[in-house]
Amino acid sequence: MTNTENVQKVLVTGATGTVGRQVVAELLARGASVRALTRDPAKADFPAEVEVVRGDLTDPASLAPALEGVEAAHLIVFGEGYAPLDTGEEIVALAAKAGVRRLTVLHGGGESPLEDAVRGNGLGLRWTVLMPVEFMANALGWADGIRSHGRIEEPYADRLSSMVHEADIGAVAAVALLDEARDARHHGRAYVITGPDVLTLHDKVRVIGAARGEPVGLVELTEGQAVERMRAAGMPQETIDFMLYVYGNTPVEGRTVATTVQDVTRRPARTFEEWAADHAAAFRTKQQGKRAQEK
């Protein structure tokens, strides 16, 4: 974009995270000017054109400089340890005061005072809630096991998931934030964002195996074995209960394909094959990586 007057400045919170990084990339790809918020700018690693600012969502006063001159902002609803933020009202008020016109909010799966504050804002701020299903990036949690043992060990191998590529969450966010059509199409909407396919764990290991060039095994754990593993990994009981509940009772949106990505971005949702190709290196040992490069 050459006309700088038309360049929109967007603040991205959670910018160093799985989704936020993609929101940043998709905004840049659409010619926006991006300001990325982090509690620790020294650790952040962004393209040179990104303006990095320090701020903490639990301390709204720290956000005032970050919101200056910004037309739209992407918000997360949690702080450290995914604790729901209770500073939503202040953040929304600060955003409105700074002249922000549009917000996207990454839904956190549970009750969220921040999301409520955005949805109920009487300050004229347009908003879109992003409700992605399971992230494809969760498969990176298998990378160590696949590199060292060539397999994954999981309960509920037939569980279904319409998992979504994080880049597509970023793309939907970017379109809603930039509002290229200058209309209210995305305002007041809660978008369920999914990938293009419904996959079982059998499908996922097959796809990862094909991407890395060597098959991946799947050992199905009983629920008892899965609980033992999660406890040994230090997972709190509440999280263990939640995980098992979701595995055994995946909500219908989590195992159904929605057309949101195509409808909003005018591009087909990225497949797990594409995701696995992008991340194949994470699932290969050094030796396998060398062999793949020689091919």
Ligand X SMILES: NC(=O)c1ccc[n+]([C@@H]2O[C@H](COP(=O)([O-])OP(=O)(O)OC[C@H]3O[C@@H](n4cnc5c(N)ncnc54)[C@H](OP(=O)(O)O)[C@@H]3O)[C@@H](O)[C@H]2O)c1
Q: Give the footprint of ligand X on this chain (CB under 6 A).
A: 13-20, 38-40, 56-58, 76, 78-80, 82, 106, 108-109, 132, 134-135, 138
Residue the block writes with tokens 């394909």: 257
Q: What is the DSSP string of 213-238?
A: TS--EEEEEPHHHHHHHHHHTT--HH
Minimum Å distance from CB 4 to ligand X?
28
Nearer to ligand X, 14 or 155 (CB): 14
Q: Are 45 and 21 in contact (CB under 8 A)?
A: no
For ligand X, give the closer residue by CB, 108 or 150: 108
Quick one: 191 exposed, middle or buried, by C-beta within 10 A (0-12, 13-18, 19+)?
Answer: buried
Q: Closest approach of Cβ 132 to ligand X, in Å?
A: 5
- Shorter beta-carbon distance to ligand X: residue 143 or 292: 143
- Residue 291 CB, nearest distance to ligand X (Å)? 31
Q: What are the E-state strand segments in the chain?
A: 9-12, 33-38, 51-54, 72-76, 102-106, 126-132, 151-155, 189-193, 217-221
> Cβ of residue 239: shortest distance to ligand X, in angstroms?
11
Judged by CB, which is closer to ligand X: 135, or 283? 135
Q: Which is nearer to ligand X, 138 or 239 (CB)?
A: 138
In the complex, least distance from residue 24 CB atom to ligand X, rounded to whole angstroms: 10
CB of 205 to ligand X, least distance (A): 18
Nearest to 285 by CA among 142, 136, 153, 146: 146
Q: Are 281 and 205 in contact (CB under 8 A)?
A: no
Q: Which is nearer to ligand X, 17 or 113 (CB)?
A: 17
Complex with ligand X: residue 160 or 292, whichever CB lies closer: 160
The CB-nearest residue to ligand X is 17
The token pair that represents 149 in the structure block: 């043992």
What the block records as the tokens of 46 is: 């962004």
CA–CA distance, 105 with 101 (Å, rounded to integer): 14
CB of 181 to ligand X, least distance (A): 27
Pairing of strands 217-221, 33-38: unpaired
